[in-house]
Amino acid sequence: MATYILIIIAQQPAVIGVGALGQVDLTPGYYLYVGSAKKGLPARIARHRRRDKKLHWHVDYLLSRPEFRIIEVWASDSRPECHLARVMLNEPAISVPRPGLGASDCRCPAHFFAYTGELAALHRYLQDLGLGLYNDNEGY
């Protein structure tokens, strides 16, 4: 199973209805989504990149909107999704914009995070966590 982190940029503020969570207010900046794919990571990432799709996961509601764009994907075969989500809560530049966002099928506080630091620092942090930059054509 592959665990992945989407680095998402919000170009402008947005108020989005996210299923049972209701309205979520998000400001411009970087966001991180932690997910997993039991098989078929390329297909999962391709699905996340499509704007026109059935809205199934919380992140689908965000990524279907023009304000949000995936800029990078990081992945690992050895770091469980919920473990990564909980570890990330200890990073001072990472916060939970809405409790439960992205974590509807587990007990984690969230799997969707706001990131306020520099992108280069985030890259070092993700490498330290054992993730590699994912390339659609080459993997990670």
pLDDT digits (tens, 9 = 90+) for 75-115: 998 889 999 999 999 999 999 999 999 998 889 999 999 99
Per the structure, the complete domain to which residue 112 belongs is given by 2-133
Number of domains the chain is built from: 1
Q: Indicate whether 113 belongs to any domain.
A: yes
Q: Give the neighbor-by-neighbor strand order of the sheet with 68-76.
A: 94-95, 112-115, 29-37, 2-10, 68-76, 132-133
- Report pLDDT digits (tens) over 34-78: 999 988 899 999 999 998 889 888 999 999 999 999 999 999 988
Residue 127 inside a domain? The answer is: yes
**Residue 139 placed within a domain:** no
